[in-house]
């Protein structure tokens, strides 16, 4: 009778027969999993990079002390210079714009109608923030609030400026200047939050907004008292134009599309130059004035801000 052969049981996956030990027994044990060296190295590199970014985010980048300095020094210097000057009263000739034509029964029609782009861009910005698909990216809720103020202020600038140009006077000019300060101060707080620190931006937002409103209220009250003083309002206009480019140059970004912010500021600077060249531009062809083009240039800057908010991603 032929003896039956025993069926060899297959070695389970992950087990490997090892050589006999000196004691004569053969032990089958699962082999240890290979170490994931590459994955561990990548994880370690990310940790090191995060620590490096917190100290100095990039070669030549700003430390925390340098960021605070680049935030405080220009603002304090500008405040010292402007507040050291004599009072700056509102020029009575400011309300005499080069293009005062009445067209279609509307006085100063082109200066009035050229505010429509502010309303359009502001409304599009609010829709993008509230109902946009895909929604704009923000690290913290207060950043969305800051840009809601920016675009609400943009739309209100169009309404207030159109109202002012129908019958230019100091009382109506208040409603032109108030929303402008909201736009500039909210934008400055948003950039500080991105480039210096979220906590700094969040704390500065209400302070800057209150400062902007106070500068206009102070100007109007001083004019009513017969001692007009535009210095605080000029400071609110000037500081963001200096401080934001410095922050972009010296501090690391939290989002992409930082170049769009520079383009927006460039449009705003162009708008201020066109405002000063109001009569010269109108005299060149008597078709459109520098002030009308100022409105269009400033609205183009607001459009670039909207473009930035829609397209940017975490850096």
Residue 96 is predicted with a pLDDT of 95
pLDDT at 146 (0 to 100):
98
Percent of the chain with pLDDT over 70: 77
The CATH number that applies at residue 170 is 1.20.1070.10
pLDDT at 11: 53
Q: Which residue has the higher pLDDT, 201 or 10?
A: 201
pLDDT above 80 (res 42)? no
User: Is residue 204 in a domain?
Assistant: yes
The verdict on residue 121 lying in a domain is yes
Query: What count of residues does the chain have?
Result: 315
The dihedrals phi and psi of 286, each to the nearest 5 degrees, come to 55, 30
Q: Provide mean pLDDT across the span 17-46.
A: 52
81 versus 221: the higher-pLDDT residue is 221
Tell me whether residue 155 is exposed, middle or buried, using C-beta atoms within 10 angstroms of its C-beta: 0 to 12, 13 to 18, 19 or more. buried
More confident residue, 147 or 132: 147
Q: Lowest-pLDDT range, 99-108, 205-214, 245-254?
A: 245-254
**pLDDT for res 54:** 43
**Local confidence band at 66 (pLDDT 50, 70, 90 cut-offs):** low
Range of the domain at 230: 106-311
pLDDT given for residue 51 in this prediction: 40
| The dihedral sign for the CA sequence 294, 299, 300, 304 | positive
Q: Quick one: pLDDT band at residue 310, thresholds 50, 70, 90?
A: very high
Region of 60 (left: φ > 0; alpha: ψ -120 to 50; beta: rest) is: left
What is the average pLDDT across 122-134? 89
Cis bond upstream, residue 134 (ω within 30): yes
Angle at 260 between CA 264 and CA 136, to 5 degrees: 110
280-302 pLDDT, tens digit each = 999 999 999 999 999 999 999 99
Note the pLDDT of residue 57: 40
Provide the pLDDT for residue 25. 47
Q: Is there a domain that residue 22 lies in?
A: no
- 29 phi, psi to nearest 5 deg: -130, 150
Q: How far apart are CA 70 and CA 29, in angstroms?
A: 63
Residue 304 lies inside a defined structural domain of this protein: yes
Q: Report how far apart the first and last C-alpha atoms of the chain are (Å, whole number).
A: 81
Assessment of whether the complete model's pTM goes beyond 0.75: yes
Query: Is residue 111 included in any domain, yes or no?
Result: yes
Torsion-angle region of 180 (φ positive above 0: left; ψ -120 to 50: alpha; else: beta): alpha
Confidence of residue 29 (pLDDT cuts 50, 70, 90): low
Under the banding of pLDDT at 50, 70 and 90, the label for residue 47 is very low
Residue 36 confidence class, pLDDT cut points 50, 70, 90: low
Residue 203 within any structural domain of the chain: yes
Q: Tell me if 264 sits within 8 A of 304, measured CB to CB.
A: yes
Mean of the per-residue pLDDT values of the chain: 84
Judge whether 64 lies within some domain: no
**Does residue 267 register a pLDDT over 80?**
yes
Establish if 123 belongs to a structural domain: yes
Across 233-253, average pLDDT: 90
Contact 288, 99 (CB under 8 A): yes
Mean pLDDT of 196-200: 91
Per the structure, the count of domains in the chain is 1
What was the pLDDT predicted at 92? Answer: 85
Task: Tell me what pLDDT residue 226 has.
Answer: 92
Q: How confident is the model at residue 55 (pLDDT cuts 50, 70, 90)?
A: very low
pLDDT in tens, 144-187: 999 999 999 999 999 999 999 999 999 999 999 999 999 999 99
């Amino acid at each position: 009778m032929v003896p039956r052969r025993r069926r060899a049981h297959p070695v389970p996956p992950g087990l490997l027969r090892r050589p006999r030990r000196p004691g004569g027994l053969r032990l089958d044990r699962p082999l240890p999993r290979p170490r994931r060296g590459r994955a561990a190295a990548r994880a370690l590199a990310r940790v090191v990079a995060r620590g490096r970014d917190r100290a100095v985010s990039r070669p030549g980048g700003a430390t925390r002390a340098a960021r605070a300095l680049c935030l405080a020094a220009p603002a304090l210097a500008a405040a010292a210079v402007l507040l050291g000057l004599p009072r700056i009263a509102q020029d009575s000739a400011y309300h005499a714009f080069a293009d005062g034509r009445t067209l279609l029964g509307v006085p100063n029609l082109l200066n009035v109608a050229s505010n429509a782009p502010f309303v359009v861009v502001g409304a599009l910005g609010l829709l993008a923030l509230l109902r946009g698909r895909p929604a704009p990216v923000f690290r913290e809720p207060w950043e969305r609030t800051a840009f809601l103020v920016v675009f609400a202020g943009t739309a209100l600038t169009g309404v207030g400026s159109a109202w002012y140009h129908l019958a230019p006077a100091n009382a109506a000019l208040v409603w032109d200047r108030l929303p402008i300060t909201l736009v500039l101060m909210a934008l400055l707080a948003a950039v500080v939050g991105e480039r210096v620190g979220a906590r700094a931006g969040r704390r500065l937002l209400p302070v800057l907004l209150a400062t902007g409103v106070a500068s206009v209220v102070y100007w109007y009250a001083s004019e009513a008292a017969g001692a007009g003083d535009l210095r605080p309002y000029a400071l609110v206009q000037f500081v963001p134009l200096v401080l934001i480019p410095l922050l972009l140059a010296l501090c690391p970004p939290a989002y992409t599309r930082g170049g769009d912010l520079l383009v927006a500021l460039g449009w705003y600077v162009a708008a201020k130059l066109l405002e000063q060249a109001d009569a010269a531009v109108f005299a060149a062809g008597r078709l459109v004035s520098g002030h009308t083009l100022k409105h269009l240039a400033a609205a183009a800057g607001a459009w670039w801000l909207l473009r930035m908010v829609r397209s940017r991603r975490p850096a």
